[in-house]
Chains A and B, each alone.
Chain A
């Protein structure tokens, strides 16, 4: 499916749905990875503005990436993907070295999120039977390429239309702003951690020292003051663009068509589709390969999407049990007597 034959999505006035009377347009990011130069200015600007602390002075060896992943102390993360030339078997030990580093790296996250896995006696990372993580991009997408390729992508909170973190927050600390973004209120968060498992992208995480959940606020304070978010402001190549989501979607469609026209057939938009598992993103991405290559889930679904169905089934089951119980009593009461 190309951008041009999409039907425009129905306007989702998220803020109005959330009780705002005269909200501004829904705002978001469009991250065009085709012009990202991997300078990480977004990571630094975000941390400076939002007072996000340093996230470990550890070398991960994932190409130029020493941040590793989004977490409580990294609200922007630039992924670097080195895609080997077909036919040149890259060193397998490299993948293993990175994997070990990544698992053991000290991180500013909690046990539910990005904290290192417990180590077994002797310092080795305990095997919990989890699937191993290779370097993003290894062994994928090489079929059509003839050259080495180095992809860069600045990842961030998706500000989903159906936000799993928000849905499961029991305290109301997570809320939908008038800009349609999703923000944690630090003074209300009780650190329960439900949101961490509620996010299908692994974005939100808790800081260990106070246990409170942390993630990108899309610079809510700056938006309130009419300013561009820090990362988009710092991006030198306009890889990170900020604006009303409707405009960004149009821009993203145009850029995609342009790249397809230039023969970059594998380019695709991520989070553009309002019918996807999270109702579409508030932050869109233009990717140059399939999402898995960048370490993004290909078809994420908000866990709470099935909640009504679950509750219906739970209700049905309860009713069935109730009936069965009644039946049993009835049977006991009215059963045949010997």
Chain B
């Protein structure tokens, strides 16, 4: 009953606080304003030469910078002010434009964490979009429509398969009683069995069953796996498209992520022009299938392209466009086991392809990939040079292969290296008909509001904290001081945990911190009122301290666990802003239990433990 902690407990408390201090420390170093130069989707690395040119241009423009560095193929240049950063961005863009280097030049903030801290893995907290400004999109992919389109295309494909000229299987009835279910009837059992074998070999997406009524029939039911596959394909295709586009926007740390079954989150920190962002995100690539021109074809009917370093002349007539392609994947040629690309068209596409190729066996067919891109141009407006983005259409031949047979709904391109096959399939998919996508939610926070939010948040946390500290000191005297030290340690630990978990700090998150400050003292209030009560019951000061801490413990545990329970529910049901609040609240509850019970006890023990005390300052 001497109220002293064993050494290990004091060390535990001191160690936790020290660790907290180290991991919270990076947050006091304000980030530098920086311009980041990074590669486009091409995988090109920023060269030391390009960086040297850029820094030279900055010197010429008399823009002070420090720390121009190359890392992981991209360059980072730091500036002392946001004005310097903004004007530097223009200079850098201009220089790279003159160098004909196609890089993304984005504004960024560079952490200034000292290396001894980052070596320990300590990083500052990340700020959410509501604090740094930027655009958040929630895109929804219209998978329902895609699924019904694809199922219909497959039905048509099955019909075409049965009608194939070489091996025709006559059916008497072909109907679809519900979506994804087909019933095909035949006159004889033999016909039905042949059809079954043939369909099963080509359409693994369907479950095949046989039956008899007045005729012999098979029923085909699409598997849930197949539906899921169509859905995944549609979402991934859009995901890829968005990723490619985002690069064009010049965003430092974009986030493009699938959410649930058919949604895609796009977070673009720092972007203010939402209209431009939407325009760029909405762009899609497409494909054209065209035949190579005959040597004697008139010039007016052909176009010239470059393919693998040689000029090729391609007919102007388009066989079909990307919207007829519904799948492209890498496979292996069963004869040579070399890689190949399997392409599937819808039934109209198959028809068009058949018509175009049946009389042209032996000629070559080209696939042309068409993309809208933007190019920077510098114009003089009112005597001032301004940068304008000019859209242009880029067309390139991605495949030129000899037609070996009359082609239909599905065909393959062979004779490729495995890398080529993958690249070609990727491009074909990117140019294939994309599932419709629309904006389900959009939130834009201007840079000025973000700044205000940080300032107001910091102000309300400090004022709230100050008031609570004052009140505790006034009401509980020396014990209040102990509680205050614990409260500050709690904030330190909260920030440290948030930082090391890479949790994102948002405005509701700040509200969570404020609430934590108010509620964290609750544990101490419980303990202290208990101590006062025991003193009133004529307990000795040392015994009262011990009893107060011990008896309040279960109550504190119960009260905090139930609050934690609610916070976890909040997290699991919540979207963006609510999640931010739930995270800080949960972490705050856990850290406050540690500091308010163990921390305060350690301090009180240091103050009163192990000696004869007549009166407590409580």
Chains A and B belong together in one complex? no
User: Which B positions have Cβ atoms within 8 angstroms of A?
Assistant: none
Interface residues of A (CB under 8 A from B): none
